[in-house]
A and B are shown apart, each in its own frame.
Chain A
Amino acid sequence: MTAEAQAQAQPARAVISRPPSGWRVVAQKEIADHVSSARFYVLLLMLGAAAIVPLYFASDAIRSVASQVQDTRNAFLVLFIYAPSDIPIPPVFGFVGIVAPLLGVAFAFDAINSERAEGTLPRLLSQPIYRDDVVNGKFAAGLAVITIVLVAVVGVISGFGIVRLGIVPSLGEVIRLLAWLALSVVWVSLWLAFGLLLSVVIRRAATAALVGFGVWLLVAIFGQLIVGLIAGIVAPVASAGTIGEALSLTALSETILRLLPLTLYQEASRVLLNPSVTTVATPSTIGQLQQWQQQAEGQLLTFDQSALLIWPHVVALIALTATCFAAAYVRFMRQEVRA
């Protein structure tokens, strides 16, 4: 080394204060990784195209629907719940319900096992951070990135509605939209936590991805079909003799369907985005049915009424997420550092 290098080779001793909590440093790096990764752009494109292209084609229909809505305060939310009858595409919220799990799994399935594969885990864990900082940081990073993607998509749809259709949202609608966004973030976290669990338990990233997408297919596409079939066997509504019987059988089959987290998300979304939905379930007695019909006479729920209606759904989703995350966390804390 040269004399000049000698001279500069004496950096002052770093004042090692308490490192800015480890999980943040991990999250920062992971976010940078995600945002520069190919998968981020692929998923962004997919989600963007799939949400916006149908909207574009359906815009005329939406415009006419929006103008027909008696209460113009809700014209804006129609953008998110409108499903055109001529083309078979789901409403935006239905679409998010199906694609968000894909996002969650895609950003987490290789979180821990890739560190093992690259041999970086022992080095990472020998830095002055707690072991859970790694899991927490990775979870936070995935959540941040997906939230940004979701906000961007919702923003584009809203912008489309405002600019192209000239629908300006009311304050109430903005609140409902934000609440729905929060619900969607919870929905994504569930899948992120599930992906994280897979990345801890399954040593090979490719296997973890396969399992993750398999479960996604099962839940998002075949799940309601299969559970519907089971419900049809357990509670055959068609065989009901009286209206009362039919109603109680319907209620039973709805409960069975609600075992699927996707159902929970979809029901909650419907209530949040549409103030005219006054109940999550079909009434199970004739008395309730009458009451429901009276309410349905053009009555709109306030935001707190809607929120009250779906809070069990939200709690269930959060509990599921917490369970997945805790399982990933506990497994990771107990695992050997070397593979």
Chain B
Amino acid sequence: MTTATTRPARRRRHGPASDSPSEAAPIRTRALTKRYGERIAVDALDLEVHAGEIFGLLGQNGAGKTTTILMLLGLTEPSGGSARVVGLDPTRHPLEVKRRVGYLPDSVGFYGSMTGRANLRYTARLNGLVEEEAEEHIALALEQVGLTDRADSRTDTYSRGMLQRLGIADALLKDPDVLILDEPTASIDPIGIAEILGLLRRLVRERGMTVLLSSHLLDQVQSICDRVGIFAHGKLIGVGTVPELATTFGDGAAHLEATFLDGTTDPAGALREVPGVEAAERDADSGTWRIVVRPATESVRVREAIIDLGAKRALRMTSLRELEPSLEDIYRTAVAGMTRGFAVEEVTA
């Protein structure tokens, strides 16, 4: 794969009148709820995905990601609340929604006795694409996911990752406005992942597509998603950009990393003297210094102070940078907080 270009943006199609035409958000839910018997899979979810963004859904197994996605597509009836996808209610206008939303299910499957291309041809026909046009779309989609050379083998000879790629091609075939991908990079090799994430970014940039994806791979989500929603027990416990989430779930500290040339005087004492520095410790393996700044808002001033200090005390500092908050840490804190919250509720109940 591929630098295959995406299709140019095209005219909007007109479907049934959307309930609020001025509403720009391609995906929006209000108190969306799904119950399976006693168990609440999705609990009064308020979610909004903006046009032209890549939104990542995070959450542990059973958090309700897949259930939410199925409700957005009208494949599962909500027990309560409402959803609007491309401005339409998926339970009332399922056809129009499904015409404009591409979906990659988790553990996607294909008809094993048919070739990859024949499988896509079936999807194209179900979407009302006519012959030559369908063939062009299929060829482009296969090219985009890097499957052109295996397109004419039966899909029961495909590896799991190849099926996953074919699934993405399948979702792209209808040239959707919104792409919903349930764990899109599962079983795909690292280079393939980079390619697919690149493709998604290009689709968003060139076609103005909106992407909602769920994943367990946090660094991927961090690298590609404009905004992230963290799910736990059917509830959205945090939503925003990674720095925003860091402010919400962080411990209020910023982290700096500094390196000094060997043989210089121990900088620990000097570093700890800087106002705002809470701790400074040397990592024995890498030899770098980790500096904790609290409150996080002091980090710029502290950095300046450390540079001054380096010059004054001849500390021979070679680098100083602020560590970006990792989504993994945020996620851990958020989920742990949620679980703690639950434990407390259970005790008091």
Residues of A within 8 A of B (CB): 1, 5-6, 8-14, 16-20, 22, 25-26, 28-29, 33, 118-120, 122-130, 336-338
Contact = CB atoms under 8 A, between A and B. Distances in A.
B208 interface: no
8 A-B pairs with the lowest CB-CB distances in the bound complex, closest first: A119-B109, A19-B128, A11-B136, A122-B105, A127-B126, A128-B99, A126-B103, A13-B10
Query: Chain B contact residues: over half helix, strand or loop, or mixed?
Result: loop
Nearest to A129: B126
Given A12-B133, A14-B127, A123-B103, 9 more contacts: A6-B3, A6-B5, A9-B140, A14-B130, A119-B108, A122-B70, A123-B105, A123-B109, A125-B75
A22 B10 CA distance: 25
Given A14-B130, A336-B76, A128 B98 contact: yes
22 contacts: A1-B3, A1-B143, A5-B4, A6-B3, A10-B5, A10-B7, A11-B140, A12-B133, A13-B10, A14-B137, A16-B13, A19-B128, A33-B111, A118-B110, A119-B107, A120-B109, A122-B103, A123-B103, A123-B123, A126-B101, A127-B123, A130-B94
Contacts of B70: 122, 337-338
Interface in B104-122: 105, 107-113, 122
Contacts of A6: 3-5
Interface residues of B, number: 48
A185 B129 CA distance: 33
B66 interface: yes
A331 to B, nearest CB: 15
Interface string B155-187: 000000000000100100011000000000000
A126 B137 CA distance: 18
Nearest to B3: A1
B7 A128 contact: no
A25 B140 contact: no
B110 to A, nearest CB: 6
Interface in B226-281: none
A126 B110 contact: no
A16 B11 contact: no
B127 A118 contact: no
Contacts of A129: 95, 98, 126
A124 B105 CA distance: 10
B179 to A, nearest CB: 12
A8 B148 CA distance: 14
B127 A128 contact: yes
